[in-house]
Structure formats: structure tokens, C-alpha cells
Amino acid sequence: MTTIYLVQHGEKERVPGDPGLSAVGREQAAATARWFLRIGLTEVCSSPLRRARETAEPIATAVGVAVRVDDRLRERVNWEAGEPFDNFQADWDRSTRDRDFVLSNGESSRSAGDRLRGFVIDVARRPGPVAAVSHGGVTTDLLRTLVGDAALPPSVLDEGIPACAITTLEDLDVIAIASTGHLLDPTS
């Protein structure tokens, strides 16, 4: 059984496109990397988006492995430059309410959850534990696929996954959802 730690990227800069981490996000990523020193990771994977890679890099450096980028860890949809934020938010909200609503990029919440589930199935065949840095929307999509909305904490559906929160899976079994204790521990 492989333990997979799905890590939400750290706090990002509030700009469209492919933003990096804010100063707070870099501190969150460093705290998360210190926590992973206790785990003995065999692999660190990342979404190709900058904020995820900037979260994954300190983790990989701390545990002495290279980051492996996997497109299946990307977010369901990204706010793009030139797009009014209100339009992006309206589409995001609709795709969250209606899991089968297909966004302009051709993906729905349901298909994004299935995509991330495919990643988890593949990683579960490898030796672990593995950290995979991804995004809150697609992690929520996965959790909705695996356990259903009723089993999720209301805050996950209403507010999303907090920055640098860790969701723990053993193969496809959900062990912990959006844990942030490692960010509060001054020894991590």
C-alpha cells in the first residue's frame, strides 16, 4: 500500500496566468518541506503550474529527490490574463455546483477528478511514500469522486483546500483531508 500526500500549493500571488508563490507561500512551502523530512519520501511530483512547482522544489530538495512534473496534477481551469475575474469565478462556481458542466478548456469537475484519480492509481503501483503537489480545485474534485460530497468537511466545498494543506491517501482510501497542523508546528 502506497501512501500519497496530496499537497495544495502554497499561497500564490493574486494575478492571472501562471502566478508564483507569495512570500507567505514560500514560507508555507518551507514549513511543509521540513515536515516531510520525517516521512522518508521516495518521490515528489508536481503540477506543471509555477505555484505548484515552487511548492514542490523545497520539498524535493529537503528529501533529496528530483521533482517529477505530471500534467494530471494541474488545476481544472486557470484564470487567464485578459479574462475578467468575475467571468472566471462564475464559470468556476458553475463547474463546482454542476460537476458535469464542461468549461471552455473542455474539462468538467468530474473529468478533472477522474484525471487525478488516474494519477493516484498509477502512483499507488510505485514504492512510496510519495508527495504530489497539486491544486485545491482538482484535489476537491478527486475527493468528491472518491468519497462523495456528504463525506467532505463543509469548509472544503465552501472555501476550498487551504494553502499547503496535505490530503493523505493510502492507494484510493482517504486517510486525512486538508491537514494544516504541520504549518502550525514551530519544529517542523
Query: What is the secondary structure of 57-123 as a DSSP string?
Result: HHHHHHHT--EEE-GGGS-S--PPTTS-HHHHHHHHHHHHHSTTPPPTTS--HHHHHHHHHHHHHHH
* CA nearest to 45, candidates 27, 34, 57, 33: 57
**Would you say residue 115 has pLDDT above 90?**
yes
Whether 30 shows a pLDDT value over 90: the answer reads yes
CB 172 within 8 A of CB 121: yes
Residue 188 has pLDDT above 80, yes or no: no
Q: Grade residue 27 by pLDDT with cuts at 50, 70 and 90.
A: very high
More confident residue, 88 or 139: 139
Superfamily of domain 3-184: Phosphoglycerate mutase-like (3.40.50.1240)
Rounded-to-integer distance, Cα 45 and Cα 85, Å: 29
% of the chain exceeding 70 in pLDDT: 98
Matching residue, cell 508564483: 20
- Whether the CB-CB separation of 51 and 25 falls below 8 Å is answered with yes
Contact between residue 89 and residue 82 where contact means Cβ atoms under 8 Å apart: no
Q: What are the tens digits of pLDDT across the range 129-162?
A: 999 999 999 999 999 999 999 999 988 988 889 9
Residue 98: per-residue pLDDT:
93
Is the pTM higher than 0.85?
yes
| Averaged pLDDT score across all residues of the chain | 93
pLDDT at 105: 78
Q: Which of 43-47, 85-89, 122-126, 158-162 has the highest mean pLDDT?
A: 43-47
- Give per-residue pLDDT as tens, 10-25: 999 988 889 999 999 9
> What is the C-alpha separation between 179 and 161, in angstroms, rounded?
9
CA distance readout (Å), 151 to 34, 63, 119, 154, 157:
30, 33, 22, 9, 11
pLDDT of 79 reads 84
Q: Tell me the CA distances in angstroms from 168 to 6, 22, 32, 70, 117, one per residue in order.
A: 6, 25, 14, 18, 13
Confidence at residue 48, expressed as pLDDT on a 0 to 100 scale: 97
Percent of the chain whose pLDDT exceeds 90: 74
Q: Which amino acid is at 63?
A: V
The residue with cell 484510493 is: 172
8 A C-beta contact, residue 71 and residue 93: no
